[in-house]
Structure 1
């Protein structure tokens, strides 16, 4: 938990858009928090800041030009589990929130949220150590009965996952069949099964799923 008796709370504001970070500073001021903010616009700056500063709360975008933030979240929590992480992003909360919480984030908030909700999320994170929005709370409850909500790839067998990775890397049916030493029509059948399990219709959707959940 965050020690609210600290004289100053240290925030890391990590987003590759300056305006987003400046907007968060405005909201922190409006919330009446005694704080100091450090800024980062990429993964290396996040790592550098965490190496040199004692951060209490990190507000991090879900995606940077280098990729998604899942790995950096895991690294932060491994090195300092006391840091509270709020993912602040424009991506769909219904689709993505659970995988970030599963990676170690303490909250997920949409950039489409109203100012009051953003301030509430930050204050809740300070007071309780986590922020679970109504949308994410519903997702968490549903995930107890359906783990595919956290990672839809978990519905695939190891063989299907291997083939899905090959498709996402640009291999075709014949190349995959040759690599696995099976018939091409066998690969075509497995492809149909993968698409059905993941509820997708084409390779583009498969690539997106693999990028987001691998």
Structure 2
């Protein structure tokens, strides 16, 4: 495995999982990559937060089911205390409700524990560069949730959200939801990367979301795409 980042910065990583064998294996899996450095590991959410207060990583891999403090509560508190942190869930839970709930909380990615090493590295790279990573599993979960809500809600539900996006902002949001990177969106729409970023920031502002991951979850929840 080898991924080139656009900068020479070493990404500082952390992992919270109550199974030591999984933690050690996960760290060992990425240990040969010079662009990454694990600076902490924790067996529960409280231990993670305590260690982050002393040395905060760039990206944390978060299990959901842990003793003392689970990953759901730890995620909420981590975002509150460390606004610049990026969190990728790594869980055995493959139910749509967990995926959607964590995305709405603002996590930048959601991986299952049987994810391949190559995809883990791809997720790290994409989260570091783009601020989010959605694989097919996450995209399908969001589509299923949207379809369920469309069936169960009244026919005017798609208009229940008063967010007014321009046609180009909708185009950019749709392509983000499809998993395209900023450069891929720019190429597809024949606009500059800077213009794509401008549209993305306006989407965040209009939806009142703090990051791209939360904006995508908001978009599916409110039928903006």
Could you say which TM-score interval applies, normalised by the shorter chain?
0.5 to 0.7
- Which residue is equivalent to 2:141? 139
Whether the 8 Å contact between 1:93 and 1:108 is mirrored in structure 2 is no
Report what 2:99 is aligned to: 97
Query: In angstroms, what is the RMSD of aligned CA positions?
Result: 2.4
Larger radius of gyration: 1
Structure 2 distance, partners of 1:4, 1:20, is 29
Matches within 5 A, 1:161-180: none
SS class of match (1:12) = strand
Counterpart position of 1:43:
45
Q: Which has the higher helix share?
A: 1
> What's the TM-score, normalizing by structure 1?
0.60
Measure, in 2, the Cα distance between the counterparts of 1:48 and 1:131.
Answer: 27
Distance of aligned partners of 1:86 and 1:39 in 2 relative to their CA distance in 1, 3 Å threshold: same
TM-score if structure 2 supplies the norm length? Answer: 0.58
In the superposition, relative to structure 1, how do residues 55 and 61 fare at CA in structure 2: closer, same or farther (>3 Å)?
same
Correspondent of 1:58 among 57, 60, 85? 60
- Report the CA distance shift for 1:54/1:66 in structure 2 as closer, same or farther (over 3 A): closer
Q: Structure 1 residues 74 and 114, CA, compared in 2 at 3 Å: closer, same or farther?
A: same
- Partner Cα separation in structure 2 for residue 80 and residue 6 of structure 1: 23
Q: Offset at 1:143?
A: 3.5
Contact 1:10 1:57 in 2 (8 A): yes
The alignment partner of 1:63 has SS state of coil
Structure 2 runs not aligned, ≥5 long: 151-225
Match of 2:131 among 110, 129, 139: 129
1:71 is aligned to 2:66: no
CA gap 1:47/1:67 in 2 versus in 1, 3 angstroms: closer
Distance across 2 between alignment mates of 1:67 and 1:43:
5
Alignment of 1:177-192 (within 5 A): none
Q: Secondary structure at the match of 1:62?
A: coil
Greater mean deviation of Cα atoms: 53-62 or 65-74: 65-74
Rounded to whole Å, the distance in 1 between the matches of 2:114 and 2:74 is 23
Q: CA deviation at 1:109?
A: 0.2
Q: Offset of 1:142 from its aligned partner? A: 4.1
